Amino acid sequence: MTAIDPRAMVSRTARLGCGVRVGAFAVVGDDVELGDGCVLDHHAVVEGPAKLGRENHVYSFAVLGGDPQDMTYHGERVSLEVGDGNQFREFCTVNRGTVKGGGVTRVGNHNLIMNHAHIAHDCAIGNGTIFVNGASLAGHVHVGDCATLGAFCLVHQFCRIGAYSYLAAGSAIPKDVPPFSMISEPRETRCYGVNKIGLERHGFSPERIQAIEQAFRLLLRSKLNTSQALGKMRETLAGSEDVSVLVRFIESAERGLTK
């Protein structure tokens, strides 16, 4: 049964699924769709146009679907699309898209967006990611599945964060981050190798991890340049689909590669 606190503000054009709960002083704006089982805690805000799938939890003072923070935005109809089973913790913000960026910000399934994290306009977030407190994306950033962004990471616009990567707290990311990698910024942002613990937690076999580690040794520890390292990966690790993913990612980098 849907339960709406009488102190909440729910637009007449909003569409609420079965079992939705909306707390006191929460706001559900125009053209918002909340799927079955969604929960908005007290003072949570979802502005539209926005579509949330099933069983998303928006915690107190989080704001989803706000206007894009972009000087070129002048009230055009742009939207936010969210999948299923996400958690948006206190004070996090997710903005809608812009016309020049395709008009849609997208968040996949089962992501944990912790407090004060920010997802800007036209970003595309995969599934199973974790945004630790204060992690922030500029516009047009793509984040692959199961990536983890540590506290107060800052990601430059148009960058890509590869799947299963780990960005250590406080890292400033001006370039693409390879899949499966660990990135830290003690003095300068660089790649320290494979996110082995994260891959193990996501069920990667020892054989898969070994192949990825061999690829990263070629990329980071050999005396080969990037092109030569990619050639060696193709020659010696052709049987690994994970390595193929890594090779294709590096070959399509437009902002350079964090190494």
Active-site residue flag, 198: no
Distance CA 4, CA 230 (A): 56
> What are the strands, taking DSSP E only, across 39-121?
39-40, 45-46, 50-52, 57-58, 63-66, 79-82, 87-88, 93-95, 104-107, 112-113, 118-119
Catalytic residue among 41, 70, 122, 176: 122
The sign of the torsion formed by the CA atoms of 135, 139, 141, 143 equals: positive
- At 98, the amino acid letter reads T
Token pair of 253 as six digits: 């980098």
Q: Cα torsion for 168, 255, 74, 152, to the nearest 10°?
A: 10
Nearest to 207 by CA among 182, 240, 244: 240
Q: How many CA atoms, within 13 angstroms, populate the side-chain half-sphere of residue 159?
A: 23
Instruction: Give bridge partners of residue 165 from the DSSP assignment.
Output: none
Among 118, 121, 140, 142, the active-site one is: 121
- Catalytic residue chosen out of the listed positions 53, 65, 85, 139: 139
Residue 133 exposure: Cα atoms within 13 Å on the Cβ side: 2
Residue 121 known to be catalytic: yes
- Exposed (0-12), middle (13-18) or buried (19+): which is 248, by Cβ within 10 Å? exposed
5 is catalytic: no
R_g over Cα of the chain: 20
* Residue numbers annotated as active site: 121-122, 139
